Amino acid sequence: MFLTKIKYLVLCVLCLVVFAVSAQEPLTARQVVEGFQSQLLAAMKKGKQIGYSGRYEALYAPVSDSHDLTKIVRIVVGKEWEGLSKEQQEILVATFSKYSVASYAHNFKEYSGESFVFDSEEETARGGVVVHSHLVIPNDKAVKFDYNLKEIAGHWKVINIIANGVSDLAVKRSEYTNILQHEGFDALIAKINEKITIYSKQ
């Protein structure tokens, strides 16, 4: 009887170990995208009830966890990144992170039956993955989303989103580098914060 209990306890421990290991396995690129999309829809469904601040709070972790915001900033400002001090780099990443969450909280503010549909995925020549999907909008045209992901420290992270053929990175890079080169760092931070304020009031 005693040996039976010991065997039972050992089996339970082994099961817990296997579960813990499997639970820690990194998500695939598709799982990262679909997990983020499901959290985005969840925030939309409560959108009117919780308001902008509620949506922002609900989406902060999902955006931060699924997007490599630091890498996105570095790509967006390009060679201008090296000309910034460490303090400026930290301020830019923090401000851009707030803006990224704010834009989702603003653009996905309410739910009217929308749903994301997975289309396909493909590997890129540089080892990344592109996840193709589209957002179904009742009584309107669907929006095509292409998520570009890179594996960072063993985890897949979104580094660019192309919506209906328009690259978010390309748009921001053109805007941000132009401001940095002609108006300076403080002007860029001010303009990003201005957009955040506008989003919070709409």
134-141 mean pLDDT: 97
How confident is residue 15, by pLDDT bands cut at 50, 70 and 90? very low
Whether the per-residue pLDDT at 8 is higher than 60: the answer is no
d(CA 44, CA 49): 10
CA dihedral of 182, 184, 189, 190, whole degrees rounded to 10: -70
What torsion, rounded to 10 degrees, do the Cα atoms 145, 151, 156, 157 define?
-60
Domains in the chain and their CATH numbers?
24-200 (3.10.450.710)
Is residue 17 predicted with pLDDT exceeding 80?
no
Q: Is the pLDDT of residue 90 over 70?
A: yes
Q: What is the pTM of this model?
A: 0.86
Separation CA 183–CA 177 (nearest Å) = 10
User: Which DSSP helix (H) or strand (E) runs through 58?
Assistant: helix 47-66
> How far is 189 from 7, CA to CA, in rounded Å?
62
Which tokens go with 77? Answer: 């400002």
Q: What is the dihedral of CA 34, 39, 41, 47, to 10 degrees?
A: -160
- Report, as an integer, the average pLDDT of 117-135: 96
Phi first, then psi, for residue 166 (nearest 5°) are -100, 120
Going across the sheet that includes 129-136, the strands are 115-123, 129-136, 143-152, 155-163, 166-167
